[in-house]
A and B are shown apart, each in its own frame.
Chain A
Amino acid sequence: MSKKLISLTVNGRKVETAVEPRTLLVHLLREDLSLTGTHIGCETSHCGACTVDMDGRSVKSCTVLAVQCEGSDVRTVEGLASGGVLHAVQEGFYKEHGLQCGFCTPGMLMRAQRFLVENPNPTEEQVRAGMSGNLCRCTGYQNIVKAVLYAAEKLRDKQEAAA
């Protein structure tokens, strides 16, 4: 199948590559760019394990074509920590035991960080609704909710300190 050249930004780095028009974003990330933190748990956009950030929105990369990302800014779990410092959601998941097998975690983290941009001061119910596109089979969500609330507080404190 003939390939198409695309250029996009992934975790702040410019990427130019040739892909088949049918190539999914998740496969571009995992197979071509070796960013295997983004996982595949289903093929119907239900599980959310493949959630990444695309131009400031959460998307499920198993149902986005790589060619749709022309010119886009994509961020994956590998780009979450900066300068060796964990993002607040990463810290929250660790501190509040928000993960077990770890398979849903990258998608959860990417959704959580975007959700907290959308709603920096959420209630527990809002966290549950905001994270409902991501499935977890291990934790029962209770500690994931705690982890997101932990991160929300941490990010607010950081914002206040900066102001």
Chain B
Amino acid sequence: MNAPAERATALAGIGESRLRKEDARFIQGKGNYVDDLKLPGMLHMDIVRAPVAHARIKKINKAAALAIPGVHAVLTAEDLKPLKLHWMPTLAGDVQAVLADEKVHFQMQEVAVVVADDRYIAADAVEAVEVEYEELPAVVDPFAALQPGAPVLREDLAGKSEGAHGKRTHPNHIFTWEAGDKAAADAAFASAPVKVRQKMLYPRVHPCPLETCGCVASFDPVRGELTTWMTSQAPHVVRTVVSMLSGLPESKVRIISPDIGGGFGNKVPIYPGYVCAIVASIVLGRPVKWVEDRVENISSTGFARDYHMDGELAATADGRIVGLRVNVVADHGAFDACADPSKFPAGLFHVCSGSYDIAAAYCRVDGVYTNKAPGGVAYRCSFRVTEAVYLVERMVDVLAQQLKMDKAEIRRKNFIRKEQFPYRSPFGLEYDSGNYHAALDKVLAAVDYKALRAEQAAKRADPKSTTLMGIGLCTFTEIVGAGPSKMCDILGVGMFDSCEIRVHPTGSALARMGTITQGQGHQTTYAQIIATELGIPSEEIQIEEGDTSTAPYGLGTYGSRSTPVAGAAIAMAARKIHAKARKIAAHLLEVGEADLDWEIDRFKVRGDDQRFKTMKDISWAAYHQAPPGLEPGLEAVHYYDPPNFTFPFGIYLAVLDIDKLTGETSVRRFYALDDCGTRINPMIIEGQIHGGLTEGFAVAMGQQMPFDAQGNLLGNTLMDYFLPTAVETPKWETDYTVTPSPHHPIGAKGVAESPHVGSIPCFTNAVVDAFSHLGITHMDMPHTSWRVWKQLQQSGVA
């Protein structure tokens, strides 16, 4: 019998850097992405899109397109009307035009679809559809949208003073959402000796996964069944929505998310293209494929951010923060299609008190319609958490500069202390666990913070220095794992998640999940949880997800919810099996259950090492000699409704050098310490952190969706929209502490989004820090060389 340590290693369970199970197919070109699918008789759909941002549609002439050989159909809103599918509900309680209904609300909006034999003919047909537009003045700026007399965008909402989230105060106003205690915050500001205020724009950006969105819809007219392969991060929710929209019973709708080429929140919403492909398949009785191109992806599918924020902090003279006030104008585009839990139109923005113990706080977010694409997805973050963390991490720096305090010291002074957890924030959130001081100390020691500050001071004093040196800190707390169904739902479905585990007679196992991996490595890490819980080697555990006909219902993968919610469901399902296995072992060993001890992969009779039954023995017995009164078989299902969110945190530090002549910024060092609680697979965690940091770098240093006054998107190709290559991307240093979540079955918190959320303010803080001795307190992203150079000019440096 092998020693316990040896057996534990052989399982490759929690804590092992197990190599990835999914890689074999990807490195051999055998992945199975939506566009790889080819069905007999399959047609191709393409979309006619609006060239202007705001216009009335005068006329659509399909004749020339329909005359092209190989074109099967051209559909417009008029064709969808009899089916009542020309508009569809959004996740945020609004409606969205599936195809522009008499009016265009944003550039590149879907106006018509064509269905043809192949994608080339479909593209020809798109060119042949003639649409006459009467242009209307476009509203691009959300503040201008709220002015009296501003052009009214949503004529379909005329006279509606109540929206899904309460009162609307202007035809272009969507909602007002408030959190915290305004009176208490106002009182704190009235009496505080120090106050700072900073306005900042978190620009509109796009998640831009490398694979664009698409689907293959296949309606079987004989059976009346619809199967759709779709790039969806939430296939079960899509099934429910498709059933509600189409009238097909949910049991006849099957959604399959196959391999997905990155999601980052972009693949959460339901897009008009999906709906049109499904309608086309039902109408034509043939499979219909739709895959958008990159320009369509950037222009029309879920953008992120676009928050115009106004932050205020009140503090004592020695830097103790006593009050926080935030007002946000949120540009939601033409339809409110934000992907947030139903009751939270600004997501979890109220985590904006951050890692700090602030007695009084208040925030208000106003959503506004403009002539831009709908969206507001969580781009590699939990709902609106990136915006919240950016706000507070910037404000703390602004306050430090006002007080001439060190930026690490002010954080240390205001951190929630270890003994305060579980900590109730001024917004009513209960932070589960944390140890911020220890993590900060670790990072400052690792980079020799004092020496960096000394070097910076020397550079500033040296007139011959060719660079400005910036040191950025970000000490963030995330809120992930949405979420407790008493607070969180999507269209009324609670945000639980699920797992079904079957242990086979010979001891290997199959687990099916309600989530769907898009690169996170679920097939690898989920198996590790089961391995540790049940003593079955990871290699013998198959993980399946993404097929609604086989997997238990789940809310999907976004907002770092897979580990906090589905990971918990796995552990709980495994524990049900474990409990049954104990009964079987007791029966086989002829002892009481209480006389058994669990050891890695077996139950042992207490005090007698020679008497034991392994999980393999027990699995076999479960199928042929289960104890009397116990059902045969060894499987379990668990639906896990989390009692709370989880609160991963991190301490990030960036050092960068800005060329005084050119404004070019070079990242000298980026040190990222993450605490995600229990670590399941350190290799995968590190990979997720590298990826998140790189996306954060892209957002901070280069990403933006710029619009002109007519609502034209000025950068919608990869020529203009910044995705860093290996050359620009900094080298990352990673570190960690472990503060388990007390309410999660294995103590895990989720990690993949922290590096995105935390790195963005870290970069901005570093850029601004480089200018701080010149009296600069804020610079809006993106920190491109051009923008930094302009600041150098304004500050008299260049």
Contacts and interface: CB of A to CB of B under 8 A. Distances in A.
Contacts of A133: 725
Interface in B686-738: 686-688, 690-695, 717-719, 723, 725-727, 729, 731-732
Given A39-B261, A94-B19, A102-B259, A135 B209 contact: no
Interface in A2-61: 20, 22-23, 27, 30-31, 34-44, 46-47, 49
A127 B729 CA distance: 13
Contact of B694 (A27, A43, A103, A141): A141
Contacts of B520: 100
Interface string B1-43: 0000000000000000001101111111111010110100000
B683 A97 contact: yes
A107 to B, nearest CB: 9
A127 B726 contact: yes
A36 B687 contact: no
Contacts of B683: 97
Interface string A110-147: 00000000000000000111011111111111111100
Contacts of B294: 41-44, 47
B566 interface: no
B26 A39 contact: no
Given A37-B29, A37-B30, A105-B27, A97 B518 contact: no
Contacts of B687: 97, 100, 138-139, 143
A142 B732 contact: yes
A146 B295 CA distance: 32
Nearest to A43: B293
Most chain B Cβ neighbours within 10 Å, of A38, A40, A93: A40
Most chain A Cβ neighbours within 10 Å, of B211, B690, B726: B726
Contacts of B725: 128, 131-135, 141
Contacts of A42: 293-294, 717-718
Contact of B211 (A80, A86, A103): A103
Nearest to B293: A43
Contacts of A1: 120
A77 B690 contact: no
A137 B695 contact: yes
A102 B690 contact: no
Contacts of A142: 690, 729, 731-732
Interface in A63-115: 76-78, 80-81, 86, 90, 93-95, 97, 99-106, 109
A99 B23 contact: yes
B209 A90 contact: no
B6 to A, nearest CB: 23
A86 B729 CA distance: 29
A80 B731 CA distance: 29
Given A41-B211, A144-B726, A77 B28 contact: yes
Contact of A94 (B27, B210, B260): B27
Given A131-B726, A140-B729, A78 B28 contact: yes
Contacts of B119: 27
A93 B27 contact: yes
Contacts of A22: 120
B519 interface: yes
B26 A99 contact: yes
Contacts of B693: 140
Interface in B178-222: 208-212
A109 B294 CA distance: 22
B691 A140 contact: yes
A38 B30 CA distance: 10
Given A81-B28, A97-B19, A137 B691 contact: yes
B521 interface: yes
A103 B519 CA distance: 9
A151 to B, nearest CB: 11
Secondary structure dominating the interface of A: loop
A44 B211 CA distance: 14
B519 A102 contact: yes
B29 A106 contact: yes
Most chain A Cβ neighbours within 10 Å, of B30, B35, B690: B690
A40 B119 CA distance: 14
Contacts of A138: 210, 262, 519, 687, 691
Contact of B718 (A23, A36, A47, A136): A47
B29 A35 contact: yes
Given A100-B520, A102-B261, A103-B262, A135 B210 contact: yes
B210 A137 contact: yes
Contact of A102 (B31, B264, B695, B726): B31
B757 interface: no
A128 B262 contact: no
Nearest to A141: B726
A133 B723 CA distance: 11
B684 interface: yes
A77 B519 contact: no
A149 to B, nearest CB: 12
Most chain B Cβ neighbours within 10 Å, of A23, A77, A137: A137
B295 A136 contact: no
B27 A36 contact: no
A45 B338 CA distance: 31
A1 B70 CA distance: 11
B690 A140 contact: yes
A44 B723 CA distance: 13
Most chain B Cβ neighbours within 10 Å, of A30, A76, A99: A99
Contact of A101 (B38, B295, B519): B519
A82 to B, nearest CB: 12
Nearest to A38: B29
Contact of B717 (A39, A44, A137): A44
B519 to A, nearest CB: 3
A47 B210 contact: yes
Contact of B264 (A35, A78, A134, A137): A137
Contacts of A81: 28
A128 B726 contact: yes
Contacts of A128: 725-727, 729
B653 to A, nearest CB: 17
Most chain B Cβ neighbours within 10 Å, of A47, A129, A136: A136
Nearest to B259: A102
Contact of A44 (B22, B719, B726, B732): B719
Given A135-B725, A137-B691, A100 B519 contact: yes
Given A100-B687, A135-B210, A140 B29 contact: no
A109 B521 CA distance: 19
Contacts of A100: 262, 519-521, 687-688, 691
A37 B29 CA distance: 4
Nearest to B119: A27
B675 to A, nearest CB: 20
A90 B28 contact: yes
A145 B520 CA distance: 19
6 contacts: A38-B29, A39-B33, A46-B723, A78-B29, A102-B22, A102-B259
Given A43-B293, A103-B262, 11 more contacts: A22-B120, A31-B118, A37-B28, A37-B30, A46-B719, A103-B33, A106-B29, A132-B725, A135-B725, A140-B693, A143-B690
Interface of A: 1, 20, 22-23, 27, 30-31, 34-44, 46-47, 49, 76-78, 80-81, 86, 90, 93-95, 97, 99-106, 109, 127-129, 131-145
3 closest A-B pairs by CB: A37-B29, A103-B261, A101-B519
